[in-house]
A and B are shown apart, each in its own frame.
Chain A
C-alpha cells in the first residue's frame, strides 16, 4: 500500500477488458454449470437413498431409537418405515414411551409385546420430545406410518407450567428445537435468528441435510465434521464411519437414577398447570392428532398415568380437571381415549416415568381395556382408515 503506482492485477482473467474476473477463481460456463448442477443434485438426492442400503439399521425386537440418535430424525424416519409393517401398532410419545429409566424390553411396548405375544407394538417414542416438537416429528419424519394404527401418548406434564408450555417471554433452551414451528405459531421463548429458522425449514425438505445431520450425530460425536476434526486432529473422519449404529439398549447419558421416586428425596409438588384452552403444547397435541387423522391413521390416546402421588391435593384436582378436558376433546374428535389410573407410588421414578414394574402393570391394564383391545384388533387388521379415525 502507499505506492504511487497503479495496483498490479496481472493474474485475473480479464472478462470485459476493464475488470478482471477474479484471482484464479474457478470460472464455469453455462454448460459447465448445467453439468455441475446435475452431478451435485444427483449426489445430494442419491447419496441419502443409497446410504440406507449401506448402513444397516438392525431392528431387533422391541427396537427403539437409540438414545444417542435422539436428534437424528433421518434415522427416526428410517425406523418409521421399518415399523410401519403390516399389522403393527405404533406407539408415539415422549420419554415415557421411549422408556427413559428402563431397557428396551422393559418399556411399555416391550411389555405389551411380551404379554400380547409377537412384536406387534413398535416404540416410536423419542426421549425428551414434547408435544410442540412431536407435531413436527410426525409431520416431517413420520410420513411412512400413514394409514397405520397409532397409540398416542399424552403427557400432561408438558402443560404443567408456563415454562414447560414454552410460553414464557424469557429465552428458554428446550429439547428438539428443530422440530417446533419456526414462524407460526410464535413460540415466545424461542429466540433462534431468522437465518437459523430458515435453515431449519429448508433442512426439513432436503434429504441431504437430514443425512448430513445423521452422519454428524452417529459418527462425529454430534459436533459436525469440522468440529470433530478439531477434537480428533489426526483421525480420518471417514474411518470414524463404522456403519455401526448405537444399540437401542444404550442407556441415556448420564445414566438415570432408576430408583423409585420415594427413595430419591423428591418432595410432592404443586405445578402451576396452564389452561388447555390457551396451552401451546396442548394445541400442538391437537395438531398431531389432526396430522395423523389427515393421513388416514387410526388414533387412540392414552393419557398418563401421571404420578398423582407426587401432587399436592389442590394440584391433583387441577390435574384431574385437565385430564377430563383432554379426554373429552379426544372423544369429541373421534379418538378413543384411555385414562389409566395411577400406578402404585413405588413404580414411578419421577413425576411421569414408570419403572419396569410400572410399565408391566400399565401394559396389563391396557390389554385388559376393551377400547384398547378393540383398537388393537388382530395382527392383520392394519388397513388404512378414513381420516376421522374410523375404519373404512
Chain B
C-alpha cells in the first residue's frame, strides 16, 4: 500500500476517524497496531510473520534482561535474530553468489545452493518490504535498554505498535524507542495546527514523489537502462537527475510519513534537511537520511571506538561505518563501492573541512558545488546495474564528448526551481517564502501538478527495496 494511491486514501479514511474516536481510550494502541498490520500485510500477509518474530524476540529479550543479571546473552539473542533475518532475506543470495563466484575463480567446481532451498514448500524467497527499517528500529530498543538509556516497555501491544507503526514502517524514518515509545503512552493532543501541519508535509511529500521523482525516473531509467546507447552529456544529466530523483523519492516518502504521523499526534524525526545544500561531506551525512546516519553513529561507529582512538582509528571507524552503510542499502558490490567512495571522501576531507580556510575563506557556493558533484558522481555506483555499466558511464562522462543529452527542459527547470527554493530558504529572503500568498501559491501549484501528473496505481518508492 503506497501513500500516493487511492488504496491508502481509503485505508486512512477508515483508520483516521476511528483513531480520533478511540485516541483517549485503551483501544488507541490496539487500533494503531491492527491498522499497521493491515498496512504491512497488504503487500504480503506472510511478511507479518517476520515482523512478529522480530517484535516478540526483542520484547522477550528485554524482559529477560530486566530479570537477569547477565544481560549480554539476551542482547546477543536480539541482535543475532534480527541480523539473521536481515542476512537471510536480504543478503543470502548475494552471499551465495559471491562465494560461488570466488570458488569458480579459484577453479572449484562446486558451489553453495541458493538460500531459496531453505524456504518452506510453496513459499517464495522474497525480500520482505522494509525489513531493513523495522529490524533496525526494533534492535535500537534492545540495545538502548542494554545500555540503560531507556526503561522496559511493559505492554507488548505498545511495543508491537512501535515496531510496526504504519506511517514509517517500510521506509523510515527509523525511530528510536526513547523518542517514539513515550508518544504511544497516554492520549495524544491533536490540534488543528497538527492537522494543517500534517497535510502540509503530506502535500510536499506527494509533490516530491509524483511530480518530481517519478518524472525524473522516466529519463533516468531510459538512460541507465541502456547506458551504452548514450554519450557523456546524457549520462551526466541522468546521473544528476538520479541524485534528485532518489532525494525526492525518499524524502517525499518520509515527508508523507511525518505528515501522517503528525495527524495522528506523533512527532516523527526529521530525516532529510536539504542535503544538496551541504557544505561538506560530514554536513551531507548530517542532512541525508538522518535517522539512519544517527543509527549507524550510535550503534556502529561509537561502539567501534568513534573518534576516541586517535586519527587513524577514527578514519578506520568512519570507513567501516560507511562500508556497512553502503551494504545496508543493497546486496550488491556496487553499493559497497558507493559506501567506499563516501568513506574515501569523508576520510580525505574531514581534516580539510575543519580548517579555518575551508570554513571561512572558501565561498559557500563553491563548497556546496563540490559536495554536490562528489555525491552525484558517487550515485553512479548506486544506480548502475553493474560495475561494467558504472565504469562505462564514468568513462563517457569524463570523455567530455559533445552530444545532445535530450533531457526534458521541463524536468530540468523543475529541479532547478526546487534547488533555488531550498537555497532561498536558507538565505536572508526566507521570510518572503514564508508569507501567506507564497505559501498558498506554492501549495496550489503543487496540488495541481500532482493532479495532472498522477498516474493510475503509482510507482513504488526506491527505498522500499532496501
Contacts and interface: CB of A to CB of B under 8 A. Distances in A.
Interface of A: 1-4, 7-12, 15-16, 18-30, 32-33, 35-36, 39-40, 43-44, 192-196, 198-203, 208-209, 212, 224-227, 229-230, 232-234, 237
B453 A25 contact: no
B444 A1 contact: no
Contact of A26 (B204, B270, B454): B204
Contact of A1 (B218, B297, B421): B297
Given A28-B439, A36-B447, A198-B10, A227 B218 contact: yes
B452 interface: yes
Interface string B24-37: 00000000000000
Q: Is the interface of B mostly helix, strand, loop or mixed?
A: helix
Contacts of B317: 2
B410 interface: yes
A202 B6 contact: yes
A17 to B, nearest CB: 10
A24 B421 contact: yes
Given A2-B285, A11-B426, A195-B2, A29 B196 contact: yes
A40 B458 contact: no
Given A40-B444, A195-B2, A27 B282 contact: no
Given A29-B436, A43-B444, A233-B408, 13 more contacts: A1-B322, A3-B301, A9-B273, A12-B273, A20-B270, A21-B197, A24-B421, A24-B422, A26-B204, A36-B447, A195-B458, A196-B457, A230-B218
Contacts of B346: 1-2
Contacts of A19: 267-270
Given A44-B451, A233-B407, A7 B301 contact: no
A2 B296 contact: yes
Interface stretch (B145-153, B160-168, B286-294): B286-294
Nearest to A7: B286
Contacts, number: 196
A83 B307 CA distance: 79
Contacts of B255: 22, 25
Nearest to B444: A39
Contacts of B455: 224
Contacts of B410: 229, 237
Query: Top 7 nearest A-B pairs by Cβ distance?
Result: A24-B425, A198-B6, A1-B285, A195-B5, A196-B457, A229-B408, A199-B456
Contacts of B436: 29, 32
A225 B465 CA distance: 27
B7 A225 contact: no
B440 interface: yes
Contact of A229 (B321, B411, B446): B411
How many chain B residues sit at the interface, stated as a range, is 35 or more
Interface in B309-362: 317-318, 321-322, 325, 342, 346
A3 B290 contact: no
Contacts of B406: 233
Contacts of B421: 24
Contacts of A25: 200-201, 204, 255
A237 B453 CA distance: 13
Given A26-B443, A27-B200, A224-B455, A194 B408 contact: no
A304 B290 CA distance: 67
Contact of A35 (B195, B197, B269, B440): B440
Nearest to B315: A2
Contacts of A199: 5-6, 454, 456-458
Contacts of A233: 406-409
Given A4-B307, A30-B195, A44-B451, A11 B409 contact: no
Contacts of A9: 270, 273, 286, 290
A203 B451 CA distance: 11
B462 interface: no
Q: Quick one: which of A9, A195, A224 has the most chain B CB within 10 A?
A: A195
B330 to A, nearest CB: 16
Interface string B414-455: 000000011001100000011010011011101110011111
B197 A208 contact: no
Contacts of A36: 440, 443-444, 447
